[in-house]
Structure 1
């Protein structure tokens, strides 16, 4: 069986190394983490993942690059950020939102629209916190995918594992 692939949507402007470390700490070895760049919380997740021995794939927009180092796999798409988000969501078994603004919300809806399970961390102080109240576990009437809201980064990781493995087994 292939490795679990977890897409992470996270703030490009907020740095929260402890959130990243706690999230990554529960991921099994062999997990592949997909990120849309190397800035803000995404860089915190990348660093925590490689420290733990996980591979990180960066689906990069045209203006971004990632450090060249062991465990980092950059994919330079030449695309603008919203276009590269399609690749992140399509490539992941599950998408996790660790808090963010419009870009993160876009990726949540995109993954949901693709039928991918989504895990949203609450209590981040960012706009994604409003998703639970505004939409709950049903982003629209079609119920295209499962959306779960969690209170801690560790719960986000554990729920991503559960949902990612369940989804992957169903395709």
Structure 2
């Protein structure tokens, strides 16, 4: 299973900690973490996943693999800028949305348009998302979704 983590590139320490916990949880579930591959929430989530022994994939907006943050195992440069948000969303079985801005919003919307379950840890209040109170609650919801996906 792949889980995309979407969130802001400019974040404070509370979101950084949240993102790292989400990344750790994804690795503990045995899932592959997908993200935009750059800084902020993407880097913190990848760091958490990598520290927990998980695999991380970064879908980069530019053409250089070296632009990836140091916690990306597989860097995929796209040269398509923000259009890469479609790939981040659609390559996921599940999306976890952290606080962010327009780019994060676009990834959430692409996920919903293409029928990906989106877990809201960022108070987005967008119809179709599943709100989680914290990382533990998100984990329970993700485990339920994985179970359903494996049965279908």
- The residue that corresponds to 2:23 in the other structure is 24
- The residue that corresponds to 2:134 in the other structure is 152
- For 1:21-170, list aligned pairs within 5 A: 21-27=20-26, 28-62=28-62, 65-67=67-69, 72-81=73-82, 83-122=83-122, 129=123, 131-132=124-125, 135-136=126-127, 138=128, 147-167=129-149, 169-170=151-152
How far apart, CA to CA, are the structure 2 residues paired with 1:11 and 1:155? 21
Aligned length: 147
How far apart, CA to CA, are the structure 1 residues paired with 2:2 and 2:150? 9
Structure 1 unmatched ranges of 5 or more:
123-128, 139-146
**CA-CA distance at 1:108 after TM superposition:** 0.7
Pair 89,51 (structure 1): closer, same or farther in 2 beyond 3 Å: same
Structure 2 unmatched ranges of 5 or more:
none
**CA-CA distance at 1:22 after TM superposition:** 2.4
How far apart, CA to CA, are the structure 1 residues paired with 2:137 and 2:25? 9
Once superposed, what is the RMSD of the aligned Cα atoms?
2.2
Residue by residue over 1:62-116, the C-alpha shift from the partner in whole angstroms, topping out at 9 and shown as x without a partner, is 16621467x61000111112x1011111110011101111111111111000011
How far apart, CA to CA, are the structure 2 residues paired with 1:121 and 1:42? 14
Pair 92,164 (structure 1): closer, same or farther in 2 beyond 3 Å: farther
Question: TM-score when scaled to structure 1?
Answer: 0.76
The answer to which structure has the higher helix fraction is 2
Structure with greater Cα Rg: 1
Question: TM-score when scaled to structure 2?
Answer: 0.84
